[in-house]
Structure 1
């Protein structure tokens, strides 16, 4: 062993001794003679990655108004402990995509996380790197640093060579809602350049905690990989099933508790506005309240000046003045980031403000959809240089959210939303009377707004009149369930009948006329009447039904991994929203807004 190699090994030991609790050696070599410069660089890189993660302190909800924001303390990095940098600048360490799902999720058994195949074919023999400890996965939090130093037993596993260290192959651990296509899109690669030691489903959701090997560009610049919030704290999922929005706002006793606003439906309180937007967009009210408090202090205090009073979310556009438009903008923008990531249509961060970065910056591929949603929203509100601080700093958004609601990763469901390979597509019926022929006037298009996925289909009844004419045809239940909510043009049916809109399969029937509409609490069987199609409840050029669905609070695309199955009719996407159509065996219905013959659908 050379003097340089011995010195580098000494530095590794000093770095672990000098770092905070949690630093660990990832390998004890079986013989010192086998340690190469590539192996030393690998060890230093591993230690550097393990000491870069921040943790957050939790404050009580009551303390946010009176005390300073909680402190976000970054862990010391290897670069700070060693000078000069022992890694030659011209040589690249092994690129490894780290994944930190919620706490208490055991590591997947079988294939180790740190196995690279010699090529990207499924049948290739793996090359094993350092052994993997048996401790559970951890999320950003104080518990990550509470562990004492640990030593991995000696191993005779071959150490990485320099060619492997320069490889563009990366390891990725699948998450809730992943498909082969959206994983490929996040890495900027093609699905055929992803391999595994097992068959990969081509179109369905993947199960979480599976190891994939991804060959992708090595020159991409990424935003922070630190996860912010679980998915179920972005969408209106079970985490908010029993959340009392009114009590939270009144107890905080800030400007929001006394606020009222004139809307198209009359005078509304701040409580009513936040609740309505959360329900309409299926966005968790907790994220909306934390955002309002972070940007304008409305929850626990008072707005500072006219700008915070008129634009409580901080989107300074005169057309979006007032609480309702501000919160609706935030919900739509969060949806655009969340579902863009989920659907594989979003990879590069679309910064809104100038100056913009010279080179594209991408969302880090291991992030969950909820964290991308927040980064996406903040990329519209902040310059690209200020994005990290706005979210992760000690006075940033994550600190404010944690102060109000605690470290939600501690109680996050390891199953997430539950979009995985085991989730089956429910077969439902067409939402009208057997024997009738309705027109498919809208193929897959956004459920509620431009940010939501293409999860809705439009059906128009037969009629001799055009426009928003009164129809005596019945909209009928596509499945069994119970009516959990009604509104202007809206009927929500809970298919598992637990009277909880945030769990299981839930169906949205929109543009249902007020006259003869079913009330809340009605128990329905497939085929039972719900009401009549109309133009109520939104923009419409003619009487029709807008049908959509969600699962555990998340809107589901009409086509894709879990497509609608309406009496055997399966949707397909068009090149733009509202086009596309339905296919059943050899039959095709092509969407047409005028209800022409090729758009007819029937049992």
Structure 2
């Protein structure tokens, strides 16, 4: 997947005078290496709509704060040296809790059969004190995911009426100047992370929403608080923050991840928190001391910043974000019948590895040698990707086609299919109504990260990346299998990009492999 790369950061300490010039419609430059360009941009949002000043958000919790919806509890380590088996436990999941192998656990309990386990059974486990994260719920799931609750939110409209550094910031990315607002919007849409959450974290860590100029260089260089050499500037900071938020959220909900590291110390998430809270707890733990992290995730930390900017997050919760009985609509393979494509990638991140492993990859039929000689491995394929179902194009361009299946044109509601690495040449236009099988565009390397032409195809529901399958889901979480035509997509727990496809009949197995010479990865329908 090739993501835009920052070339030069355009910032300089001009203080309060800077934003005064913004209001006056001036532009500035200095002869130094680091420059900020300030322009009076029109008051229009990302879709070209006139920006209306927003109603101020409450600066404190609602009089009767919303009670978060209870979540099913997840098994957690016990410090007594004994563990009582819970519904849904296996020896494998219990061994993972304590950093053991299944063989270690069998030996510790003199057991011969790994399949012999009963609810209520007591097992010997390593003793010692176990450290738990706070159980205070920070945000609902729909405030981490770019969900229906944020469909009408405009980063431009919000930033225009704030006095902070964000609205004056710009950064050179691939020889193009991006504003701070454009960076936030791009990252929110790419990772499907709620822009309100990104903005609240930017204020909490960097003060970029309310302060005209941050009071120290670290908050300029690392505005999301992720202090890693080589990852300076808003663009890299937003990318890393969004991926960390997704890693916590989807790791807890779908991949069986139950703890976070602080050096050699492991801190276990509370058993009854929600994935949205875990996502924020995980992101705030990155490059942070344990003592500071405890303050950050308390009721007096980041949560207060969110309240001051947007009010009580649970007041706008969309629950359940993904219904327990969700059924996938019928989908075809995303290319034309009669063409032999190559299944090159099993389940992996919808956008970067932190998100749910919702994507699979297909490479188009091999093009003429003349095309590869002229364009290299990142050529524009003459073959088309096609609509896997009826719908309307919610977004296209810059490598993307987002197909909305509920027909409202909003990619944050209902089922959407995300096609990535689609070239702008002959790409379908936003708002176009399509039928299953209609051509959408040509695979290439455009958008995301890619070193070879292919289609990166994934599913979302209400903005949430849905994994191809879920063998380690949290209690109460179910996901419909991903079925394309008569093929069911499958993967291996903990092995990103590894996977296979199955269907009924003698010719019912395909294995993901990146080479065209592999015998078991060709797909045709």
TM-score (norm 2): 0.73
**Partners of 1:557 and 1:497 in 2: CA distance:** 23
Query: 5 Å matches for 1:119-268?
Result: 169=84, 188=97, 220-264=130-174, 266-268=176-178
Determine the structure 1 residue equivalent to 2:16. Answer: none
The reply on whether 1:585 has 2:489 as its aligned counterpart is no
Give a deviation string over 1:209-246, Cα, whole Å, max 9, x none: xxx98978786331111111100000100111111211
Unmatched tracts of structure 1, length 5 or more: 1-59, 65-69, 72-100, 114-164, 173-178, 191-211
1:453 is displaced (CA, Å) by 2.0
Deviation at 1:62, TM superposition (A): 7.1
SS of residue in 1 equivalent to 2:361 = strand
Q: Is the 8 A contact 2:499 2:512 kept in 1?
A: yes
Q: Work out whether 1:594 is the aligned partner of 2:500.
A: no
Query: Are residue 388 (structure 1) and residue 294 (structure 2) matched?
Result: yes
Relative distance call for 1:214 and 1:459 in structure 2 (3 A) is: farther
**In structure 2, C-alpha distance between the alignment counterparts of 1:276 and 1:261, rounded to whole Å:** 13
1:107 and 1:588, CA in 2 relative to 1: closer, same or farther beyond 3 A?
A: closer
- SS, match of residue 511 in structure 1: strand
Partner of 1:576: 495
Aligned residue number for residue 521 of structure 1: 431
Tell me how far apart the structure 2 counterparts of residues 348 and 276 of structure 1 sit (CA, whole Å): 30
Question: Which position in structure 1 is the counterpart of 2:320?
Answer: 416
Tell me, yes or no, if the aligned pair for 2:259 and 2:269 is still in contact at 8 Å: yes
2: CA distance between counterparts of 1:493 and 1:540?
Answer: 21
How far the C-alpha of 1:562 sits from its partner, in A, is 2.3
SS at match of 1:361: strand
Shift of the alpha carbon at 1:104? 8.7
Of the two, which has the highest radius of gyration?
1
Output the CA distance in 1 between the equivalents of 2:70 and 2:357: 35
**Per-residue displacement from partner, 1:490-522 (whole Å, max 9, x unpaired)?**
111111111111111111111112111101111
Please say which of residues 289-298 and 376-385 is displaced more in the overlay: 376-385
Q: For residue 455 of structure 1, what is the aligned residue in structure 2?
A: 358
C-alpha contact 1:292 1:313 (8 A) present in aligned 2? yes
Question: Could you tell me how far apart the structure 1 residues matched to 2:364 and 2:442 are?
Answer: 9
Secondary structure at the counterpart of residue 547 of structure 1: strand
Question: Of 292, 305, 310, which residue of structure 1 is paired with 2:202?
Answer: 292
Q: Is the 8 A contact 1:186 1:365 kept in 2?
A: no
Task: Please tell me whether residue 480 in structure 1 is matched to residue 390 in structure 2.
Answer: yes
**Partner in structure 1 of residue 482 of structure 2:** 564
Give the distance between the partners of 1:224 and 1:231, measured in 2 at CA: 17
Where 1:271 maps in the other structure, the secondary structure is helix
Query: Does residue 440 of the first structure (1) align with residue 404 of the second (2)?
Result: no
Instruction: Check whether the contact 1:278–1:331 (CA below 8 A) recurs between aligned residues.
Output: yes
- Quote the offset at 1:345 in angstroms: 3.0
Answering whether residue 351 of structure 2 is matched by residue 430 of structure 1, we say no
Alpha-carbon distance change, 215 to 516 in structure 1, aligned in 2, over 3 angstroms: farther
Is contact 1:348–1:362 with CA below 8 Å preserved after alignment? yes
Number of aligned pairs?
A: 422
Quote the Cα distance in structure 2 between the aligned partners of 1:346 and 1:186: 13
Residue 336 of structure 1 corresponds to 247
Q: Runs of 4 or more off by more than 3 Å in structure 1?
A: 60-64, 101-108, 165-172, 183-190, 212-220
> Measured at CA, do residues 250 and 590 of structure 1 come closer, stay the same or move farther in structure 2, by a change above 3 Å?
same
Structure having greater relative contact order (Cα 8 Å, sep ≥ 6): 2
SS at match of 1:349: strand
SS at match of 2:161: helix
Aligned counterparts of 2:243 and 2:426: Cα–Cα separation in 1: 32
Equivalent position of 1:399 in the other structure: 304
Q: Give the deviation of 1:309 after TM superposition.
A: 1.0
- C-alpha contact 1:237 1:502 (8 A) present in aligned 2: yes
Q: TM-score, normalised by structure 1?
A: 0.64
CA distance in 1, matches of 2:175, 2:259: 38
Secondary structure in 1 matching 2:188: helix
Which whole-Å CA distance do the structure 2 matches of 1:339 and 1:460 have between them? Answer: 27
Q: Distance in 2 between matches of 1:236 and 1:214?
A: 42
Change (3 A) 1:63 1:229: closer
Distance apart, 1:370 and its partner CA: 0.5
For residues 542 and 520 of structure 1, do their structure 2 counterparts lie closer, same or farther at Cα, with a shift above 3 Å needed? Answer: same
1:524 to 1:180, Cα distance in 2 relative to 1, 3 A: farther
Out of 401, 414, 428, the residue aligned to residue 504 of structure 1 is 414
Q: Residues 215, 285 of structure 1: CA spacing in aligned structure 2 closer, same or farther, 3 A cutoff?
A: farther
